[in-house]
Chain A
Amino acid sequence: MNQETMTELRVPQVREEEKRETFIVAIGGGKGGIGKSLLTANLGISFAQSRMKVVLVDADLGGSNLHTCLGMDLPEASLGDFVNRRAEKIEDVIVETGVAGLGLISGAEDYLGSANIKYTQKIRLLKQIRKIDTDVIIMDLGSGTSFNMLDFFLYSDLGIVTMIPEPTSLENSYRFIRSAFYRLLRHLEKSLPFRKVIDEAMDPHNETGIRTPHDLVRVVAKMDPERGEQYRAYMDTFRPLLVINQVRSVDDEELGVAVSTACRKYLGIDLDYLGYINYDDVVWKTARSRAALLRQEPDSAVAKSIWEIAVQVAVRLRENPSSTLKKIL
């Protein structure tokens, strides 16, 4: 049923409307082990099974394991080959996954080479990724709030924040969202004094006491009212998406809405809640048998909830989202 919905929603304009750039969806969330790879792999499968062309990118520079969630061995070609120019074109490092229409760019296995990718390399990489001839790219981000991860997230047209119902995960996700927004402002802001204020805000223990985007806007508006308005407008356009994973109780089910509301009230950022995934042993069972969940256990509750999320993503893609960062790089 969801597959049908999906096929209908299938970003059709993408292929027909000439030369629409590829959509990029990024999946991040600050913390490790919260299901980013699980979601990336299975979203990819659901899109591909709905007859869209998809390429997954393991952008977890240094800790890549997306192939495992697809039930694959570590591919020979990887992103590292492209970054270090061993491969000429990015298409050269896309490998088949066994699912029709689904390609994979595996993460860079040589930690030192790619985890510390330089800024110019990063921009080149992002631009090349967007040029890949496909409908949708889904990037699996590493954990943490490094500038690399934030930039990958901001360069995507839809950025999904994954979270599990645990305090540390909540905290990391909030920090991730806040940092991503500051990072976006930092890219957009050309004036040195204001950049310094944004830098200050990025430090959670900063001297100025700025704790939230609201605080930042207030401070900036005081120094330059027009700018303050502009910042506020950026706040309104920054719309990350939220998925809650490993839900175990009825209370957890409501957590997504609660988190999104809290985020709105406190950070002033509209966190768009997509849905949740239940905690289920079927996840590690399929992982153990080295298979992709959506293929091995298509009727499991987890598979169904991933389909629901996929539909939500497809709905958002229809609205033609476009990264703000893309426009200025």
Chain B
Amino acid sequence: MRDFREQNFYELLEVKPHVSQPDLERSYQRLKRFFGSRSVATYALFQPDELVLLRRRIEDAYRILSDPERRQRYNSELERMDGKLELAGTAAEDSAVDEAEAEAQPASIGESHYTLHEAGNVFRRLTDEARQNIERKAGTQEGRGEAEDLAAGVFDSLANKEGQAGNDLEPDAIDQNIPVESEEVATPEAEQTAAAESDLEPVDELPAEADTEAGDDLEPLESDESGPDELEVLGEEDLSAQGDEKVAAEEKPILPPMPEINEQTIYNGELLRQAREAKGFSLEKLADKTKISIYFLRNLENEVFDDLPALVYVRGYLKFIAQLLGLDKEATVKGLTERINQASNK
């Protein structure tokens, strides 16, 4: 089973590719309830920003699949992409991760130590960037329950997030996002468990590990030399944001130039494409960064406007895309929405 960020529209709506219209509708309505703001089921699982993302993806999926023509087009797209449509972002990021890791790995650290550090690094790269910093904002917007505010709020905070340095990627920031109640419950129980488990230690089975591996009553492991302080030092070395810049800087010479912006510039799909290419982003990379479906990004660039989410969402998308690509936000939103409106009036 795949992460909802990687699921295609059918998987998202938990339906089979040949689902009938009524079944699709039912499944959509159910999911809407389950992941709505009044649902208890998501408690202690999702961060508010993740929920917003999931809801948006569900809306996107329904919008496309509930329209026979769009669904048809989406199907052929899916086939063309060999079913990997929604996975593309993850794969595209890989090469950048490799490079960053190669740099981040000091030669002298022990094996297991390296792995943990690496794990942390990889995780921070691959994790949904939106997760970390937008909780408060998304949370309050959600309370109001208005689609437009919600979308705007999410994209504003995503955009702000993007502009900040890498320090909000630190684990501390993540921890703060955990609801207070969860900490209250987690702590005593964790301690209790730890305490109980250390008593269980079969001393004869795990002679060397008794102190460091409290609670581990599985087979004995090889000894591990890395200490906790080393780990922290390495943790600080995780400079994902800087790594990104570095990669971009190195690639710069071979990139096409940024399109010229002047009075006559028409803000259209083509401009988005040119700006993206000038930044050295593949569509996949942009999709991963923005968490906008690559399908919609492509439709925006190709101006296939009838296959887009609701306009309020598109405006949010555009703001965020413009920010990432270094385009004027207002002009981009204005230009593209005009073109979308023109197209729909035809």
Which A residues fall within an 8 A CB radius of B? 115-120, 144-148, 165, 167-168, 170-172, 174-175, 186-187, 190, 192-197, 199-200, 203-205, 207-210, 212, 214-215, 218-219, 222-223, 232, 235-236, 254-255, 257-259, 261-270
Q: What 6 A-B pairs have minimum CB-CB distances, sorted nearest first?
A: A258-B41, A171-B44, A193-B115, A119-B217, A208-B120, A258-B34
Partner of A192, one of B112, B175, B235: B112
Decide if B116 touches A200 in the complex (CB within 8 Å). Answer: yes
CB distance from B6 to the nearest CB of A (A): 8
A-B contacts, 15 listed (Cβ < 8 Å): A116-B200, A119-B200, A120-B205, A145-B189, A168-B185, A196-B116, A209-B120, A209-B123, A218-B123, A236-B1, A255-B40, A258-B39, A261-B34, A266-B4, A266-B42
Taken residue by residue from 215 to 226, chain B's Cβ proximity to chain A (1 for < 8 Å, 0 otherwise) reads as: 111110110100
Partner of B41, one of A118, A119, A222, A261: A261
Interface residues of B in 4-56 (CB under 8 A from A): 4, 14, 30-31, 33-35, 39-46, 50, 54
Known: A118-B200, A258-B34. A170 touches B43 (CB 8 A): yes
User: Which residues in B have their C-beta under 8 angstroms from that of A192?
Assistant: 111-112, 221-222, 224
User: Which residues in A have their C-beta under 8 angstroms from that of B103?
Assistant: none
The closest CB in chain A to the CB of B132 belongs to: A209
Interface residues of B in 80-126 (CB under 8 A from A): 90, 94, 97, 111-112, 115-116, 118-120, 122-124, 126
Instruction: Provide the main secondary structure of the chain B interface.
Output: helix
A214-B2, A261-B31, A264-B1 are known; give 17 further A-B pairs, CB within 8 A.
A116-B196, A144-B193, A147-B200, A170-B41, A171-B181, A192-B111, A192-B222, A199-B216, A207-B116, A209-B120, A223-B122, A262-B45, A265-B4, A265-B54, A266-B46, A266-B50, A268-B2
Interface residues of B in 308-325 (CB under 8 A from A): none
User: Which residues in B have their C-beta under 8 angstroms from that of A172?
Assistant: 185
User: Which residues in A have their C-beta under 8 angstroms from that of B174?
Assistant: 209
Decide if B119 touches A115 in the complex (CB within 8 Å). Answer: no
Decide if B14 touches A261 in the complex (CB within 8 Å). Answer: yes
Instruction: Decide if B127 is an interface residue (CB 8 Å cutoff).
Output: yes
Decide if A196 touches B224 in the complex (CB within 8 Å). Answer: yes
CA distance A262 to B47 in the complex (A): 12
Decide if B196 touches A167 in the complex (CB within 8 Å). Answer: no
CA distance A148 to B197 in the complex (A): 8
The closest CB in chain B to the CB of A206 belongs to: B171
Known: A209-B123, A265-B4. A144 touches B200 (CB 8 A): no
Decide if A197 touches B119 in the complex (CB within 8 Å). Answer: yes
Partner of A147, one of B42, B215, B221: B215
Partner of B33, one of A116, A145, A196, A254: A254
The closest CB in chain B to the CB of A178 belongs to: B45
Known: A118-B202, A167-B40, A174-B44. A257 touches B30 (CB 8 A): yes
Among A170, A218, A223, find the residue whose CB has the most chain B CB atoms closer than 10 A. Answer: A218
Decide if B14 touches A171 in the complex (CB within 8 Å). Answer: no
The closest CB in chain A to the CB of B39 belongs to: A258
Partner of A223, one of B118, B178, B193, B224: B118
Partner of A266, one of B45, B118, B120: B45
User: Which residues in A have their C-beta under 8 angstroms from that of B1?
Assistant: 232, 235-236, 264, 268-270
The closest CB in chain B to the CB of A203 belongs to: B190
CA distance A118 to B124 in the complex (A): 37
The closest CB in chain A to the CB of B184 belongs to: A168
Decide if A204 touches B186 in the complex (CB within 8 Å). Answer: yes
Known: A119-B205, A120-B202, A262-B35. A215 touches B127 (CB 8 A): yes
User: Which residues in A have their C-beta under 8 angstroms from that of B219?
Assistant: 190
User: Which residues in A have their C-beta under 8 angstroms from that of B2?
Assistant: 214, 268
